[in-house]
Amino acid sequence: MSGITSYHAGLAAEDSVARDYARRGMAMTARRWRGRSGEIDLIARDGARVIFIEVKKSSTHARAASRLSAAQTRRIYAAGSEFLAGEPRGQDTEVRFDVALVDAVGRIDVIENAIGL
């Protein structure tokens, strides 16, 4: 898959995941939010809880999951901490770090609380 094709496939996967969270009643707060530490694909709200979502797309859910490295999880966690600095409760905000896996046919498997340090 070429770079531009992969880029657009990633955007389509993020769109699908955003719609999935919206169907479950969560409001999308940000897409591709970037802090000094890195980027977070999607940020949603479920009441007062902030949900940071990393989207991984590949031919299978297992292959998508394998693409999440330890270094990347540290960057996501650090970027999430930066985002929380702007929240009324700061670091005391209730949060969850999810990974949304998207396979080749568009099936979504959300793993809640998948990232934690």
Integer CA distances (angstroms), 53 to 31, 107, 114, in order: 10, 16, 10
- Domain-embedded: residue 19: yes
The CATH number given to whatever domain includes residue 86 is 3.40.1350.10
- Domain-embedded: residue 76: yes
- Domain-embedded: residue 117: no
- Domain-embedded: residue 116: no
Please check the confidence at residue 2 and state whether its pLDDT lies above 90: no
- Domain-embedded: residue 34: yes
How many other C-beta atoms are found inside a 10 Å radius of the C-beta of residue 83? 21
Q: Residue 95's domain spans which residues?
A: 3-111
Give mean pLDDT, residues 85-112.
95
C-alpha angle 99-31-61 in degrees, rounded to nearest 5 = 25
- Domain-embedded: residue 23: yes
Supply 32's token pair.
């591709």
Give tens-digit pLDDT for 52-76: 999 999 999 999 999 999 999 999 9
What does DSSP assign to residue 26? P
Please check the confidence at residue 80 and state whether its pLDDT lies above 90: yes
Supply 66's token pair.
């394998």
- Domain-embedded: residue 51: yes
Task: Name the pTM for this structure.
Answer: 0.91
Tell me what percent of the residues of the chain surpass a pLDDT of 70.
Answer: 95
Residues 6+ apart with CB under 8 A from 26: 44, 45, 46, 51
Q: Give the count of domains, the chain.
A: 1
Of 100, 93, 82, 89, the closest CA to residue 33 belongs to: 82
- Domain-embedded: residue 75: yes
Give mean pLDDT, residues 31-46.
96
For residues 93 and 48, what is the distance between their CA atoms, to the nearest angstrom?
8
